[in-house]
């Protein structure tokens, strides 16, 4: 056999290996092929190819493994059980940039599914190798490593702390300063995943100087980058007043408000979430948002959006209103109540209705003036309906009951209370009747209106427990009217009158005349 024939055998073998891994990598992109590939024991066939002498075969084998592991946690578990991870981690330090990207992809694909799988990635020493990759010259390698680190950190604070302890944060902050957009996005996302777990982790990111660099990207035209930057700021701000103040001091207002008009829903939602996380802390931070035009901007955006996108904005208005009478009045003046009333009518999802109800309760609980603003928007019957409807979730019923109670205890605008007299159950009715008992003794025109509208008649029909608060309020109201009027509107009075007519005997003089 000639030398040429011998070499041809090896060339054919190499060609077959290359063709095999390329075909498996291609098949792995289609979900319908995954089960068949798994059944053929593809993991065991790909594993030795990670050590192949041909770099292309190595890289493509790693890519195929990553795609398989990415598909579901069973396949990711199979990668772990095949003892593939240690080989990948070792190769991260030794191989070329193409292999490093593929290896980091496999680690990410395994880590993404659960904290347990992410822990196995950490246990095989991947963090140190990935952090070293963040210092590579090639931006694609940095991106693959940052992505894997973010997927590990997102699960819980222990894993995020492990990423921090490996020294990733300063290098991720350097990555967001790189010119490549995709690297900026992934690095910002990883920082957000680290920040979200605890104030200490968020403080680590802040101490690395992330805020100033993130703030410069708020108005970047790339929506995918913006949403990650806004998410990172929200995750930092949510933990404490001090961290929220540091974000605000980066002068993100009023520039960040323009993101509420972005064409991408995720950018809008993340912006509103950031504003909400800042607003929830103190009246001073709310005042700063308001001075920048934030309250009016949020009211406009919840009017322009639907569903879950508007949820953080609804909650933000509730947080602002909860802090003080002045801030609640600012929400009213910005037409916030009208917009929330529309949402309560339009939305079908109970969790969005519950947030809306809660926000209305925070606005209306301060003074009679605040309660009147809620009442004139015809919200009270809707709150009652949300409370008594058997179709409402438990959370919606609870929040509706509390909001009704808070608003009714301040409301002295009687025309808005009348519909509730007819439909409210006793535990709500007592608050309605209590307000009437406060207003009627001092307002003659209200007493007249109360009689002509049928209110007094309804009050007499209420069956209150003797000695109850409701019974006392009814007695207070009855004292505001002449006894014969009260008697006239009492149930059974007309029957008693008819019986008197039947029993009445005209005098003899009337009969003879």
For residue range 372-418, list pLDDT tens digits in order: 999 888 888 888 888 888 888 999 999 998 998 889 888 888 888 87
User: What's the Cα-to-Cα distance from 368 to each of 252, 337, 374, rounded to whole Å?
Assistant: 36, 15, 10
Is the preceding omega at residue 254 within 30 degrees of 0, hence cis?
yes
- Express the helix, strand and coil content of the chain in percent, nearest 5 each: 80, 0, 20
Burial of 196 (0-12, 13-18, 19+ CB in 10 A): buried
CA-CA distance, 468 to 476, in Å (whole number)?
Answer: 13
C-beta separation of 423 from 431 below 8 A: no
| Cα 276-230-187 angle, rounded to 5 deg | 145
φ, ψ (nearest 5 deg) of residue 267: -60, -45
First-to-final CA distance of the chain: 151
Q: Which 8-state DSSP code applies to residue 254? A: T
Nearest to 356 by CA among 371, 336, 373: 336
Q: What does the longest C-alpha to C-alpha distance in the chain come to?
A: 152
CA-CA distance, 112 to 120, in Å (whole number)?
Answer: 11
CA-CA distance, 89 to 133, in Å (whole number)?
Answer: 11
Note down pLDDT in tens along the chain; length 513 residues: 678 888 888 888 888 888 988 988 898 888 888 888 888 888 888 888 887 788 888 889 888 888 888 888 888 888 888 888 888 888 777 778 888 888 898 899 999 999 999 999 999 889 999 999 998 889 999 999 999 999 999 999 999 999 999 999 999 999 999 999 999 999 999 999 999 999 999 999 999 999 999 999 998 999 999 999 999 999 999 999 999 999 999 999 888 999 999 989 999 999 999 999 999 999 999 999 999 999 999 999 999 988 899 999 999 999 999 999 999 999 999 999 999 999 988 888 899 999 999 999 999 989 999 999 998 888 888 888 888 888 889 999 999 989 988 898 888 888 888 777 777 787 787 788 888 888 888 888 888 887 887 777 787 777 777 877 778 888 888 888 888 777 777 776 666 656 666 665 666 554 544
* Residue whose pair of structure tokens reads 């390329």 in the numeric block: 22
CA-CA distance, 467 to 283, in Å (whole number)?
Answer: 42
Question: Which phi-psi region, left, alpha or beta, contains residue 393 (left: φ > 0; alpha: ψ -120 to 50)?
Answer: beta
CA-CA distance, 228 to 230, in Å (whole number)?
Answer: 5
Alpha-carbon dihedral sign for residues 47, 52, 55, 56: negative
The two structure tokens encoding residue 459? 């009050």
User: What's the Cα-to-Cα distance from 270 to each of 43, 141, 286, rounded to whole Å?
Assistant: 40, 28, 18
C-beta separation of 164 from 204 below 8 A: yes
CA-CA distance, 248 to 257, in Å (whole number)?
Answer: 13
How many DSSP H helices and E strands does the chain contain? 35, 0
φ, ψ (nearest 5 deg) of residue 464: -95, 150
Alpha carbon 327 to chain centroid, angstroms = 23
Burial of 475 (0-12, 13-18, 19+ CB in 10 A): exposed
The answer, as to whether pTM is greater than 0.95, is no
């Amino acid at each position: 056999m000639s030398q040429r024939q011998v070499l041809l055998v090896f060339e054919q073998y190499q060609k077959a290996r290359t063709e095999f891994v390329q075909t498996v990598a291609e098949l792995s992109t289609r979900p319908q092929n995954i089960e068949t590939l798994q059944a053929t024991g593809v993991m065991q066939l790909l594993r030795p190819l990670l050590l192949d002498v041909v770099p292309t075969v190595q890289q493509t084998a790693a890519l195929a493994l990553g795609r398989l592991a990415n598909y579901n946690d069973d396949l990711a578990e199979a990668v772990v059980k095949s003892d593939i991870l240690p080989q990948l981690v070792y190769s991260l330090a030794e191989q070329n940039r193409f292999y490093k990207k593929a290896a980091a992809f496999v680690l990410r694909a395994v880590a993404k599914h659960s904290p347990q799988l992410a822990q196995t990635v950490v246990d095989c020493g991947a963090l140190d190798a990935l952090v070293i990759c963040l210092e590579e010259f090639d931006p694609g390698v940095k991106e693959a490593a940052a992505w894997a680190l973010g997927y590990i950190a997102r699960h819980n604070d222990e894993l995020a702390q492990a990423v921090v302890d490996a020294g990733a944060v300063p290098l991720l902050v350097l990555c967001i300063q790189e010119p490549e957009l995709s690297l900026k996005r992934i690095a910002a996302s990883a920082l957000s995943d680290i920040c979200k777990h605890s104030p200490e982790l968020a403080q680590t990111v802040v101490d690395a100087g992330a805020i100033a660099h993130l703030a410069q990207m708020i108005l970047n035209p790339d929506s995918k980058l913006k949403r990650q930057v806004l998410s990172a700021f929200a995750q930092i701000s949510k933990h404490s007043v001090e961290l929220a103040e540091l974000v605000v001091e980066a002068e993100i207002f009023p520039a960040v408000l323009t993101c509420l008009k972005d064409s991408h829903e995720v950018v809008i939602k993340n912006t509103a979430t950031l504003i909400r996380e800042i607003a929830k802390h103190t009246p001073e931070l709310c005042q700063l948002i308001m001075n920048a035009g934030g309250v009016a901007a949020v009211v406009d955006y919840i009017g322009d959006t639907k569903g879950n996108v508007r949820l953080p904005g609804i909650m933000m208005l509730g947080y602002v209103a909860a802090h003080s009478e002045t801030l609640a009045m600012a929400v009213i003046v910005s037409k916030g109540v009208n917009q929330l009333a529309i949402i309560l009518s339009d939305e079908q999802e109970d969790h969005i209705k519950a947030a809306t109800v809660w926000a209305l309760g925070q606005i209306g609980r301060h003074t009679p003036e605040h309660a009147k603003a809620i009442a004139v928007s015809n919200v009270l019957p809707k709150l009652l309906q949300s409370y008594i409807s058997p179709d409402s979730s438990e959370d919606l019923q609870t929040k509706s009951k509390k909001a009704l109670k808070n608003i009714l205890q301040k409301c002295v605008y009687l025309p808005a209370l009348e519909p509730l007299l007819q439909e409210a159950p006793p535990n709500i009715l007592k608050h309605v009747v209590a307000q009437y008992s406060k207003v009627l003794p001092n307002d003659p025109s209200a007493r007249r209106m109360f009689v002509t509208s049928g209110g007094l008649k309804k009050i007499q029909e209420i069956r209150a427990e003797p000695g109850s608060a409701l019974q006392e309020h009814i007695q207070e109201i009855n004292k505001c009217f002449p006894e014969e009027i009260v008697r006239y509107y009492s149930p059974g009075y007309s029957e008693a009158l008819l019986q008197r007519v039947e029993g009445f005997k005209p005098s003899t003089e009337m009969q003879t005349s």
